Chain A
Amino acid sequence: AQKVTQAQTEISVVEKEDVTLDCVYETRDTTYYLFWYKQPPSGELVFLIRRNSFDEQNEISGRYSWNFQKSTSSFNFTITASQVVDSAVYFCALSQGGSGNTGKLIFGQGTTLQVKP
């Protein structure tokens, strides 16, 4: 069975602090995709990144970086020098890859990040 666990329910930091959001996944598939989404207070989920299971290279996009480690089944997300606008709920998600890919996403429970000025 596939499962995504985001153990941190809520995190509160002060602006300019670095913060890491944890994501641990379970799957028996050899080909799969991992995602991060951001849900600001407006409610719309915003796609941040997709990573396939064969690409373990870390990714950096501005203040955002992602660390994918198959050995620990983790796909963690770090925000460097956090800003108030980063306050949102962040979801990690998993989907099956390969020919069996229906596009269905398995979401974690989400981590609410509050960045205080």
Chain B
Amino acid sequence: DVKVTQSSRYLVKRTGEKVFLECVQDMDHENMFWYRQDPGLGLRLIYFSYDVKMKEKGDIPEGYSVSREKKERFSLILESASTNQTSMYLCASSLQGSEQYFGPGTRLTVT
């Protein structure tokens, strides 16, 4: 079974804080993805990576950065959290050309 885990299910941070969201997969997948999900807007891709130390911007990268130092781990960083980054964050991984498997999500609230 593919397993994608995320460091927290719920997180509350203050405006201006630096926030790290961690994602780990145990199936040796090349590709990893970060999405945010908001009511009425569906899932939007923030960043993705198809190899260690490689990253590509998605549709809404502004205000975010990522890090992939090891194949199994993909981190999403909010350099200075803002209230408009309050959202559900979903991580996913996949083999090249195959379906994505998702983690349980992190519901981030920025106050």
Contacts and interface: CB of A to CB of B under 8 A. Distances in A.
Interface size class of B (residues with CB under 8 A): 20 to 34
Contacts of B40: 109
A47 B58 CA distance: 21
Tell me the dominant secondary structure on chain A's binding face: loop
Contacts of B100: 47, 103, 105
A103 B31 contact: yes
B99 A35 contact: yes
Interface of B: 31, 33, 40-43, 45, 48, 50, 56, 58, 88, 90, 92, 94, 96-105, 107
26 contacts: A37-B102, A43-B88, A43-B105, A44-B103, A44-B104, A45-B90, A47-B99, A47-B100, A47-B101, A91-B42, A97-B97, A101-B97, A102-B56, A103-B33, A103-B50, A103-B97, A103-B100, A104-B33, A104-B48, A104-B58, A105-B100, A107-B43, A108-B42, A109-B41, A109-B42, A110-B42
Interface of A: 33, 35, 37, 42-47, 50, 91, 97, 101-105, 107-110
